Structure 1
Amino acid sequence: MDNPVAANVLGTLGAVCWSVQLIPQIIINYRRHNTIGLQPSMMMLWAWAGVPLGVYNITKKFNVALRIQPQILTLLSLITWTQCRYYDKKWPISRCLLVVIPIALVMAGIQIGLIFALRAAHSSHLTWPDTLMAVLSAALLAAGVLRHYWDIYVHRSVRGISFIFVGIDAAGDLFSLISVFFQPRLDILGMVIYGTELALWTGVFACGGYFNLLPWIKQNLKPSSESDLSSNASEPPADSTTQPVHGISLQNMPSSTSVFRTPSSEIAVARIRAGFQDVEDERDAVS
């Protein structure tokens, strides 16, 4: 379905969503001067995902917004990754720049080289390089999201995940996916790239419904007498979202202030805060 205006508008919305989801994280990191709860591996995977995605979108002559979108993803992901090194690993600024600038230059060089290589492959009527770029893009984007699945599986909790920003990221995938649909030629691989991450984010939302919404519905549908009995019970109900993990109750954890915090990192934050509280209690006892 050839509709250049719709393709550009939707592609722009996709690029804006992918920017909006990371810019608040960068601002949060700067204001609180730490990146506790953020997974640097996720940021680096997304940074590298922008390389084959950019190659694919440019060589397939997608609309301008979809060509720029991977560059924005790589840039913002690298900035966020650098903040992780600076704030949490205590790298000096000079070391951060000495590491991240060569990485960025290597990424740019690889992308430019692959663009020329794929154009030469197109002139020779080879299709497997396009498939390779699409697979790499989808795999790297998915790898960043799969960290959430691992933590959800291990801790049986979605505590700490910011569903607002997950929704923004998923919306970026959806807009980009529809934008590809409005290209002059329907590109199945391009739809697979964005559709893969969209499907994974949808799964995270489904986990949120299972671990948060479903127990809430069951609790509110209980008869009043049953609710009174449960409230008077000596032990709390066996709910995976309220069970303590290594002495830390997930129910009492504060809401996440990170955009892409995972359950395991939420537990790490709770441990740190619990340690600070113990120190304060000891000080109060001494005084």
Structure 2
Amino acid sequence: MFLWGASAVFQGVYALLQRLNIPLIVQPQLFGFLCLVSWGQCQYYGTGRSRWAATAITLSVIILFGLLELFLVIFLRPPHDRGERAATTTTKALGIVGSVLISVALFPQYWQIFKHKEVIGISLLFISIDMLGGIFNDLSLAFRAEFDVIAAVTYSLVVVSPCST
């Protein structure tokens, strides 16, 4: 959950700087927030932290990640808009880092499937809705003037990853 929340920072910066469609800009923000709230619940229920400590840690991380994303957008937007190569390369790298973090965060689930030889705790309805979201995100990219390969890879991972389970 924490890695997914962290990936949203990079995906959010990428979506904002690439000026993707509004839903594709909002999606990483909501995804990251919900992942971090879920991670906060893990802090309370899983590690036994007090309610106050789990809430304080979670809110601190959400604020820190929000400020990091804001800083990156403010810092990178002007040179990116001018077409400077370093800023464009950095933006692409952030998009790739976000995709890698999303993928790496799936490994524990795959390890559990391998270890137990069965799928535990995955809702088929949730997986189906998630996959449909990835398909519609890819479709929205297909109708842009310029197809965004990095964003498409990220959304396609959502579609392909559950299929391998």
TM-score by length of 2: 0.89
Partner residue, 1:102 = 60
**Cα deviations by residue, 1:11-61 (Å, 9 ceiling, x for unpaired):** xxxxxxxxxxxxxxxxxxxxxxxxxxxxxxxx1111111101100111111
Task: State the match for 1:125 in structure 2.
Answer: 85
Residue 135 (structure 1) shift: 1.1
The question of whether the paired residues in 1 share the 8 Å contact of 2:141 and 2:147 is answered with: yes
Structure 1 unpaired stretches of 5+:
1-42, 205-287
Please point out which of 177, 193, 197 is paired with 2:138. 177
> Does structure 1 residue 158 correspond to structure 2 residue 119?
yes
From the two aligned structures, give the one with the greater helix fraction.
2
Question: What is the count of residue pairs matched by the alignment?
Answer: 162
Q: In 1, are the aligned partners of 2:44 and 2:54 still within 8 Å (CA)?
A: yes
Aligned to 1:59: 17
Does structure 1 residue 91 correspond to structure 2 residue 49? yes
Which AA in structure 2 matches 1:143?
V
Match of 2:108 among 147, 158, 164: 147
Q: Deviations over 1:250-286 (max 9, x none)?
A: xxxxxxxxxxxxxxxxxxxxxxxxxxxxxxxxxxxxx
The secondary structure found in structure 1 opposite 2:85 is: coil
| TM-score between the two structures when normalised by the length of structure 1 | 0.53
Structure 2 CA distance for aligned equivalents of residues 79 and 53 of structure 1:
18
Q: 1:134–1:190: 8 Å Cα contact kept in structure 2?
A: yes
SS of corresponding position for 2:150: helix
The amino acid across from 2:33 in the alignment is L
Q: Any runs of at least 4 consecutive aligned residues in structure 1 with deviations exceeding 3 A, and if so which?
A: none
Q: Give 5+ residue unaligned stretches, structure 2.
A: none
Question: Is the 8 Å Cα contact of residues 86 and 96 (structure 1) preserved in structure 2?
Answer: yes
How much identity, in percent, do the aligned residues show? 27
Paired residue secondary structure (1:198): helix
**For residues 70-81 of structure 1, what are the structure 2 equivalents within 5 Å?**
70-81=28-39
